[in-house]
Amino acid sequence: MKPKIVLFLLGMFLHLISCKDNAMKPNPALATIDFLRGDLLLCGSGQFGELKFSLSCNYETRADFDLAVALLHSFQYTDAEKAFVKVIDADPNCPMAYWGVAMSIYHAAWFPPSEKDLKKGRQVLAVAKELSMDEKQRDYINAIDVFYTDWQNVDHSTRAKRFEMEMEKIHLKYPEDVEAAIFYTLALYSTRDRTGKEYKNEQKAGKILESLFEENPNHPGIAHYIIHNYDNPVLAHKGLETARRYAKIAPSSSHAQHMPSHIFTRLGIWEESIESNIQSAESARCYKQALNINDGFFEELHAIDYLVYAYLQQGDNTRAEQQYNAIKTATAIYPLNVTAVMYPIAAIPSRLALENKNWKRAANLQLQETGLDWGKFPWQKAIHHFAKALGASHTKDYALAEEEIKTLTKLHQLMIAENDPSQFIQVNQVEIQLKTAQAWLFFTRKDVENGLAFMQEAVAIERKTSLHPLTPGDVLPAMELLGDMLLEMNKPDEALIAYEENLSKTAKRFNGIYGAAKAAKNSGNLEKATHYFKQLIELTKNSNSVRREVEEAKEFIAHS
């Protein structure tokens, strides 16, 4: 062989080796990013739905990438990130894997990311933007990048809106891209009007998702986001069919087992809500076992909050207390970075006292120790002080009631001072609780005029405030409490109007139905009284309820 040919072939060989080495050499910046790694915690059969994202990279990593996206769609963010990082480790030049990590720490439908996560998102996307990619991949990377850009100076809501606008561009540019449409609807949900009740974004998103569902019947994101967008009293009926399908689409997801109960709760379908959350809690315990923790686990606590609420609406105190007993001794919670994990810790004991009008129990509630500073969770902490304030007023411990109202006032002022647009619902809810507590303090002190005025102010705020998606319902709705006050004032006709308005928004509530029956009876409307008392008996027929209201209903029907 001629020397020139030998040198040429040797040069080509060395060049190929060099290219290969360069391709496989990891970016040094990756070592500075605190990626989540480790085995995925996939309980059950490991089924999280079916999808195929056309923008995955190497064929060898496609299954991991699609699993990561499926986990992302069911809000299993920790495992989603691990799965995307697995793709990065196998193919560090895959830009969409970095996109997936950035999406996994955004938590679009949840609370805003922490400062640590925002810094991480910038790091991850800085690496991604240096990679070679096609135009469509670049569009996806740039879309999520606008959320993390200048996060130190631009508020969360503005950056979320930027992301929504970029996802709309991608959806319109690539109308055949199912994932683009789905992630656009998630972006719409994240920027919805959180206090209003027109549900413009939710209806727009729902229309897009419904158009995709028939051809993608096992896609976890479509079903999941339909439920989220219809999780309100106005649109809930549109999500019932989907709610009954989602758990079967992603049977291994604890969140997928739970989410249908949001629709069941809005519609007052308590048996299905209970079954949904029993399955969700069981799935969550599987994850606890895999994590080797005994702490209060968010998914389990969230499911139990919904279970307690559903059992209470059936008048089933026994089963509600059993659920509370399962978590009330937890002295630590997991994960620590989920703000929402503190909500059920405060809400569940408050519900048990208030729904039963057990004012002494409410006045003597103690905050459960979790190892975290309750002062950092003003919204959740306010629920506890609201319950104590109502309990104190009704037991005529006015000094305690005043003390609790002062605490509520401070918590409300603290939340206002934070000036966080993503917390508008929570701020309004604390204000409703504050005015309600003030109303009942006046009322129980025989200052009826001020009591009624404050109660009506609370109702006015409640009318324009949407329910937070985390909660199955307020521990006691202001409108229902207005009905209680009017009934005590011997104004049964006005009380009936209040109860019925509340029932139109919070279907089949035990206290609302009983209140409506009592108001109708006292006003002489025996037809309506019969209707509501029968409804109360039907509501509680499978619960062996021992609440006195059920006995009263049975006696009325027996003698009517």
Encode burial over 101-122: b for 16+ CB neighbours within 10 A, e otherwise: bbbbbbbbbbebbeeebbbbbb
HEC letters along 413-475:
HHHHHHCCHHHHHHHHHHHHHHHHHHHHHHHHCCCHHHHHHHHHHHHHHHHCCCCCCCCCCCC
Lowest-confidence region among 186-195, 207-216, 355-364, 471-480:
186-195
Q: Is 117's pLDDT higher than 80?
A: yes
Distance CA 559, CA 397 (A): 39
Pair 326, 380 in one domain: no
Pair 134, 280 in one domain: no
Contacts of 532 (CB under 8 A, 6+ apart): 513, 514, 516, 517, 520
Between 150 and 112, residue with greater pLDDT: 150
Residue 345 located in a structural domain: no
Q: How confident is the model at residue 292 (pLDDT cuts 50, 70, 90)?
A: confident
Residue 235 located in a structural domain: yes
Cβ atoms within 10 A of the Cβ of 514, count?
23
Pair 476, 388 in one domain: yes
Residue 8 located in a structural domain: yes
**β-bridge partners, 334:** 297
Cis amide prior to 95 (ω within 30 degrees): no
Q: How confident is the model at residue 17 (pLDDT cuts 50, 70, 90)?
A: very low
Lowest-confidence region among 30-39, 155-164, 392-401:
30-39
Pair 359, 296 in one domain: no
Q: Is 285's pLDDT higher than 50?
A: yes
For the domain that residue 420 is a member of, what is the CATH number? 1.25.40.10
Q: How confident is the model at residue 6 (pLDDT cuts 50, 70, 90)?
A: very low
Q: How confident is the model at residue 491 (pLDDT cuts 50, 70, 90)?
A: very high
Domain end point (choices 302, 337, 372) = 337
Pair 201, 278 in one domain: no
Contacts of 372 (CB under 8 A, 6+ apart): 333, 336, 342
Q: Please, what is the end-to-end C-alpha distance for the chain in angstroms?
A: 112
Residue 143 located in a structural domain: yes
The per-residue pLDDT for 26 is: 61
- Do 108 and 147 contact (CB within 8 A), yes or no? no
Lowest-confidence region among 147-156, 230-239, 283-292:
283-292
Q: Is 53's pLDDT higher than 50?
A: yes
The per-residue pLDDT for 179 is: 95
Pair 138, 249 in one domain: yes
Distance CA 110, CA 415 (A): 18
The per-residue pLDDT for 44 is: 67
Residue 346 located in a structural domain: no
Domain coverage including residue 308:
269-337
Residue 302 located in a structural domain: yes
Domain end point (choices 219, 235, 258) = 258
Pair 181, 99 in one domain: yes
Contacts of 294 (CB under 8 A, 6+ apart): 288, 330
Between 510 and 425, residue with greater pLDDT: 510
The per-residue pLDDT for 45 is: 64
The per-residue pLDDT for 544 is: 82
Between 438 and 35, residue with greater pLDDT: 438
Domain end point (choices 258, 293, 327) = 258
Residue 343 located in a structural domain: no
The per-residue pLDDT for 47 is: 79
The per-residue pLDDT for 56 is: 64
Arithmetic mean of pLDDT, 69-98:
93
Distance CA 45, CA 63 (A): 16
Task: Dump the DSSP string for 318-330.
Answer: HHHHHHHHTTTT-
Q: How many domains does the chain have?
A: 3
329-348: pLDDT as tens digits = 887 777 765 667 899 999 99
Pair 462, 499 in one domain: yes
Pair 7, 103 in one domain: yes
For the domain that residue 7 is a member of, what is the CATH number? 1.25.40
Arithmetic mean of pLDDT, 43-61:
77
Counting Cβ atoms within 10 Å, is residue 523 exposed (0-12), middle (13-18) or buried (19+)? middle
Residue 264 located in a structural domain: no
Q: Is 372's pLDDT higher than 70?
A: yes
CA angle, 105 as apex, 101 and 107 as ends, to 5°?
125
The per-residue pLDDT for 40 is: 76
438-458: pLDDT as tens digits = 999 999 999 999 999 999 999
Q: Is 10's pLDDT higher than 80?
A: no
Whole-model pTM? 0.89
- Do 348 and 329 contact (CB within 8 A), yes or no? no
Pair 545, 425 in one domain: yes
Pair 201, 301 in one domain: no
The per-residue pLDDT for 441 is: 98
Pair 136, 274 in one domain: no
